[in-house]
Structure 1
Amino acid sequence: MSDLPPPADTPAPPPRHAPEPPDGRSPAAAAGEFRPRRRLRRRPRSRPRFQGLSFNRLIPNLLTLLALCAGLTAIRFALEHRWEHAAALIVFAAAIDGVDGRLARLLKGTSRFGAEFDSLADFLDFGVAPALVMYLWSLEPSHGLGFAPCLLFAVCSSLRLARFNAAIEAAPGSEPPKPAYAYNFFTGVPAPAAAAVALFPLFASLACTGWGWYGLANAFRHPAFVAIVLVATGALMVSTLPTWSFKNFKVPAQYILPLLLGTGAYAALLVAEPWAALAAGGLIYAGMLPFSARSFARLRREAEGLLDLPAPPERKAAGPTG
């Protein structure tokens, strides 16, 4: 049985050593047998990590830098006697100053560097720049006598900012805690508001010049009037007068609609007559100072009255009845 030849249709087994094809290919390739390629696994590229702050936390410092540049440019415009541009840049710096601190707290980007940088920018924007603008605009003919109110205003601005920074950096427990109502008030007039009040003669004179009231414009530009405004504003900055901070200010329900209407009217006036609106804003803030002091005194009396109330009598524990 084993000597029988294989059937005719059965293929012959391939030889053990097949001859190489004439084109130089391997026998396996010539026979159509291809080995699958081995896929190389790419190693994930490690991204470099940099130490530092995120861009969101740098936004408040960038805004402070922008305000500082605005104050420096205002000084340049004042040297060139371009009063409108100088005043507009100081107002722009004040608007940025009202945003950068709140934005830093919102983005959790508060830092010691940001606080110091903000104070230095505020001193230049609202202490040096307004004083120099008013000196070049009105007090320069008086020479040294006219420079004294400007110098006093800048010094008061630096003292006010130094007192504010010292209150922030005070160690907990070194000073008695303030009552809850006192956190809604500043001590003295803030530097941006003081700059707006100090620039009131310039705002009013520009508005009167636009209306053709040249006599009144010259009266606002008189060195004596400008000097009185600068000295009074500087004294308000270093005073202990409580002023509203408007951070947690609550508006009663019956005043919400009049407040909205008044804000809309002021915005319309700001677009139509910007210098008159800015002058009116300075007058409105100065007129609010007595009401702010009265509100602080009322809240203090109410708090002291609550402390003087007699304590309720203690109830005796009911004993067993006999």
Structure 2
Amino acid sequence: MSEQKRRGIYLLPNLLTTAGLFSGFFAVVSSMNGRFEAAAVAIFIAMIFDGLDGRVARMTNTQSAFGAEYDSMADMVSFGMAPALIAYNWGLSDLGKIGWLAAFIYVAGAALRLARFNTQLGTADKRYFQGLASPAAAALVAGLVWVGVEYNVQGSDIGIVVAILTGLSGLLMVSNFKYNSFKELNLHGKVPFVALLVILLIFVVVATEPALVLFIAFALYALAGPVNTFRSVDKVRLEHVLGDPEEEDADFGREETKDKASDAVNQEVK
């Protein structure tokens, strides 16, 4: 008789997920109290925890279906609701309907992005993200708020800019633009000594003006998706920008079937 499995959840990865969830909640509360710099910084801290929980789970072999679902719920708070509310409280509230609609476009985009990501876990190319990842979109919105506070810019003075950036970030999340995921990087292998110096230099540059440097970095990353997509195709079509991912998966499946059939024929000829 097999021993009954012990019920429960893995503590360490879910503890990191909870820390990210707390950071997102803290960001919302801080923005409601007018502490927008603390709110923006909390979003970036949530990004750190979000990057750690999955990696720790893989390193310690503690992945679970519960952990994956919990991570998605936490991401929706930290990278969906929190950035939209921060942007609304800082620069969108004076725009009326336009302001809350821009914030809602972002929230809806984050929800759709996370749902699509969860349904494509087993089939998606791990080298790329389809659409702008929600943490990167959150960093773009929170980075704008952080820069504005750092340079004493009132959000209401640039409300239209905040609305455009917030809404555009939401649309980029549900787009078909391909973004590098950097998951193919080998962190276990050896690197030249100069690589350590480059990393040190990056930390120094970020430390000099963290708000501005981080915002520019994530803005360039957000632009990289459309640029890479348009450069990789001869003729831009609607499905390269927006479309049904299920249709693309079906086309990919048909192409893969053709390739396997062709390989089988070649093997018989040989």
Scaled to the shorter chain, the TM-score interval is 0.7 to 0.9
Structure 1 partner of 2:133: 190
How big is the shift at 1:207? 3.6
Matched, 1:293 2:246: no
How big is the shift at 1:196? 0.8
Kept after mapping to 1: 8 A contact 2:143/2:211: no
CA–CA distance in structure 1, aligned partners of residues 25 and 268 of structure 2: 65
Matched, 1:127 2:70: no
Kept after mapping to 1: 8 A contact 2:90/2:156: no
Matched, 1:241 2:214: no
How big is the shift at 1:272? 2.5
For the aligned residue pairs, the C-alpha RMSD in angstroms reads 3.4
Aligned pair count reads 239
Identify the structure with the greater helix proportion: 2
Change (3 A) 1:282 1:259: farther
Structure 2 partner of 1:201: 144
Aligned ranges for residues 14-163 of structure 1 at < 5 Å? 51-53=6-8, 57-163=10-116
How big is the shift at 1:262? 4.6
Change (3 A) 1:159 1:312: closer
Kept after mapping to 1: 8 A contact 2:91/2:155: no
How big is the shift at 1:197? 1.4
> Partner letter of residue 160 of structure 1?
R
How big is the shift at 1:144? 2.4
Structure 2 partner of 1:267: 203
How big is the shift at 1:199? 2.3
CA–CA distance in structure 2, aligned partners of residues 232 and 259 of structure 1: 34
CA–CA distance in structure 1, aligned partners of residues 172 and 37 of structure 2: 26
SS in 2 for 1:222: helix
Unaligned segments of structure 1, at least 5 residues: 1-49, 171-176, 210-216, 316-322
How big is the shift at 1:104? 0.8
Matched, 1:167 2:87: no
CA–CA distance in structure 1, aligned partners of residues 87 and 155 of structure 2: 14
CA–CA distance in structure 2, aligned partners of residues 94 and 221 of structure 1: 28
Structure 1 partner of 2:168: 232
Kept after mapping to 2: 8 A contact 1:244/1:292: no
How big is the shift at 1:287? 3.8
Kept after mapping to 1: 8 A contact 2:143/2:212: no
Change (3 A) 1:134 1:116: same
CA–CA distance in structure 1, aligned partners of residues 154 and 141 of structure 2: 17
Q: After superposition, what is the alpha-carbon deviation per residue over 1:27-68, rounded to whole angstroms, capped at 9, x for unaligned?
A: xxxxxxxxxxxxxxxxxxxxxxx94458xx310001111111
SS in 1 for 2:85: helix
Q: Percent identity, aligned pairs only?
A: 31
Change (3 A) 1:221 1:275: farther
CA–CA distance in structure 2, aligned partners of residues 228 and 77 of structure 1: 23
Change (3 A) 1:312 1:257: farther
Alignment TM-score, normalising by the size of structure 1: 0.65
CA–CA distance in structure 1, aligned partners of residues 193 and 226 of structure 2: 24
SS in 1 for 2:126: helix
How big is the shift at 1:265? 2.7
Larger radius of gyration: 1
Kept after mapping to 2: 8 A contact 1:184/1:249: no
1:280 to 191, 216, 221: 216
2:158 to 181, 202, 222: 222
Unaligned segments of structure 2, at least 5 residues: 235-251
Aligned ranges for residues 301-320 of structure 1 at < 5 Å? none
Change (3 A) 1:112 1:313: closer
Change (3 A) 1:260 1:77: same
How big is the shift at 1:288? 2.9
CA–CA distance in structure 1, aligned partners of residues 222 and 195 of structure 2: 18
Relative contact order, higher structure (CA 8 A, sep 6+): 2
